[in-house]
Structure 1
Amino acid sequence: MSRRGPYYVMVVPAVLIFFVFHTVPVLQGVFYSFTDSPGYGPFELVGLRNYVALFGDPRVLHAYWFTFLIAGVSTVAVNVVSLTIAVWLNSRIAWRTTLRGIYFVPNILAILIVGYIFNYLFSNSLPALGERLGIGRLSTSLLTDSSTAWLGIVILAVWQAAAFNIIIYIAGLQTVPVDLYEASAIDGASPWRQFRSITFPMIAGFFTINMVLSLKSFLQIFDHIVALTGGGPGTDTESVALLIYKGGFQGGEYGYQSANSVVFFVVIVTLSIVQLRFLQKRETSV
């Protein structure tokens, strides 16, 4: 009985705050997805009309395709880069702690500020360097061409997200017994063989965590695109999150984009569950 007081004091306020600022807005969003609300003034219930219209809207379909492209490429790239750096850092004795701190810095910085810096690099510094070197492809900004703008977004996303993944992988690498490497070295195993047969199977759980979190994060990509392209040229680099924001808060499509957000939520949850179960099964077979 004496412990119930502190328990309720700590838990009840947290639950109430979560319910008011998270659960209630989510339920309101679901309700508005069945209306034609522009975000203000009167509205009417329209049933499933918004959901049906989503599947025939070219702009929405393109946003989903572009989001899946960015999320897929970035998830693979960030895990390859992060695991490579983590393995290298784990093998370094000198400056190990300092290097970990340096590599974690991108995760601390505000992505909008970093994005504007990358925007300047892609739009000014890189073209100037391309002109001096006589490289035609680099003499113009990556962000002005729809065929290359997505690459700039991927570069920024991977650079910023790698910091967190590196820390997770380093934590996993530290759980691998050194004796296994020593025994394999005596048997003549190459570094690649050690990685494939010892390192990766031992950190498979950490790989699963990073893959799931990376995909979920990249599917919700927003700040990177705002800072680099704003969704342009035209709407070629418009992600689902950016489309929901533009249409819902700036385009008078609050009800329509609320339906889009509900569908997007279901997509993210479904992909995360499928990915998690697939990778967990793979852990047992590695």
Structure 2
Amino acid sequence: MSSTTESPATTPETGLGTPPKTPTARPRGRRALKVPRAFYWMVVPAVVIFFTLHTIPVLTGMFFSLTNYAGYGTWSFVGLSNYLNLFLDSRVLNSYGFTFFFAIVSTVLVNVISLAIALGLNANIRFRTAFRGIFFIPYVLAILIIGYVFNYLFANSFPAIAEGLGLPAGNILADPQFAWVGIVVTTVWQAAAFNVILYLAGLQTIPGELYEAAAIDGASSWRRFRSITFPLIGAYFTINMVLSFKSFLQVFDQIVALTNGGPGTSTESIAMVIYRGGFQGGEYGYQMANAVIYLVVIIVLSFLQLRFLQRREATT
């Protein structure tokens, strides 16, 4: 019995056996894109801390906003009555009015002043680096400390200077109609430093050739600013406006140090009303409802402001 063996197939060109298969690319699938577990374990601590210190308190506050909890003792559900009563509370409505007025005025002033300072520091002036460090010092200091320093200045130093110059002397913080001016001055002085740094970063991204070409064409300084500088730092203007407005809507420390909400309740901000009513006045559940509305207002306004300014960037 004869056994037959199959000969390997031959190629017509060489007459040799079948050539070995060339290696193919590794298939791309879930196994190829799998992320090592070590990366997930690195994220876990941050997620746990964020969930514990942020998410749980927020959810707890939302829960108690539906109750009549006073911060101690027993409580019961009251549904949406806390939210409805907020719109009938004159003190809460006045605090919203003051906070929005303060935030709008401070946002406009701090950005105008910061941009002017940044333009000056970006020019070829002597001791430019030293001036940048000096202007950033206020941002390093605690706002509460700055508030107490300005409180002393408004109550003692400025009235003495005005009296020496023969001008009407008085503590502006004691005037219900103008106490907000002192708060705005203190806030703008401290907040301008951060905005100056951002504007400086934006100005340094503009090529100098554009200004040289504009100067050759005879463009004035205002024309160069309007047609070159401001459009090219539009993204920095947007982020400064959004961050400033959001921060000023949460004003608290400056008011505590300068006026403590007075005279009377003329300078009470939303955050101060929430703090006083929720932690000192036995209105924990009621002020938690105020805090929830406050959170929604800040998120919505920041989103709308960001969308509007970004559209303006696209059209310039």
With the shorter chain as reference, the TM-score category is over 0.9
Counterpart residue number, 1:168: 198
How many correspondences in the alignment? 284
Aligned AA (2:256): V
Alpha-carbon deviation of 1:102?
1.0
Aligned AA (1:135): L
Trace 1:2-151 onto structure 2 (pairs within 5 A).
4-136=36-168, 139-151=169-181
Counterpart residue number, 2:258: 228
Provide runs of 4+ in structure 1 moved above 6 Å: none
Distance between the aligned counterparts of 1:44 and 1:160, measured in 2?
44
Larger Rg: 2
SS across alignment from 1:147: coil
Distance between the aligned counterparts of 2:294 and 2:112, measured in 1?
27
Aligned AA (1:8): Y
SS across alignment from 2:66: coil
Aligned AA (1:241): A
SS across alignment from 1:261: helix
The question of 1:259 aligning with 2:289 is answered yes
SS across alignment from 1:246: helix
Distance between the aligned counterparts of 1:108 and 1:6, measured in 2?
36
Alpha-carbon deviation of 1:93?
4.4
Identity among equivalent pairs (%): 63
The question of 1:179 aligning with 2:209 is answered yes
Aligned AA (1:229): T
SS across alignment from 2:264: coil
Alpha-carbon deviation of 1:38?
0.6
Alpha-carbon deviation of 1:5?
4.6
| Residue segments in structure 1 that go unaligned for 5+ positions in a row | none
Aligned AA (2:153): L
Cα-Cα RMSD:
1.2
Q: TM-score, normalised by structure 1?
A: 0.97
Distance between the aligned counterparts of 2:51 and 2:265, measured in 1?
35
Aligned AA (1:154): V
Higher alpha-carbon deviation: 70-79 or 88-97: 88-97
| 2:242 corresponds to which of 209, 212, 217 | 212
Distance between the aligned counterparts of 2:242 and 2:128, measured in 1?
27
Q: Deviations over 1:124-181 (max 9, x none)?
A: 1011111111111xx1101000111000000011111101000000000011010000
Q: TM-score, normalised by structure 2?
A: 0.88
Q: Deviations over 1:31-88 (max 9, x none)?
A: 0100101111111110000000000000000000000010000000000000000010
Counterpart residue number, 1:190: 220
Alpha-carbon deviation of 1:10?
2.0
Aligned AA (1:162): A
Counterpart residue number, 2:13: none
Distance between the aligned counterparts of 1:226 and 1:167, measured in 2?
27
Distance between the aligned counterparts of 2:170 and 2:38, measured in 1?
62
- The structure in which a higher percent of residues are helix is 1
Aligned AA (1:121): L
SS across alignment from 2:177: helix
Aligned AA (1:100): R
Distance between the aligned counterparts of 1:6 and 1:153, measured in 2?
49
Distance between the aligned counterparts of 2:36 and 2:172, measured in 1?
59
Distance between the aligned counterparts of 1:39 and 1:244, measured in 2?
13
Distance between the aligned counterparts of 1:128 and 1:92, measured in 2?
38
Distance between the aligned counterparts of 2:141 and 2:124, measured in 1?
26
Counterpart residue number, 2:230: 200
Point out which structure has higher relative CO (alpha carbons under 8 A, 6+ apart). 1
Aligned AA (1:169): Y
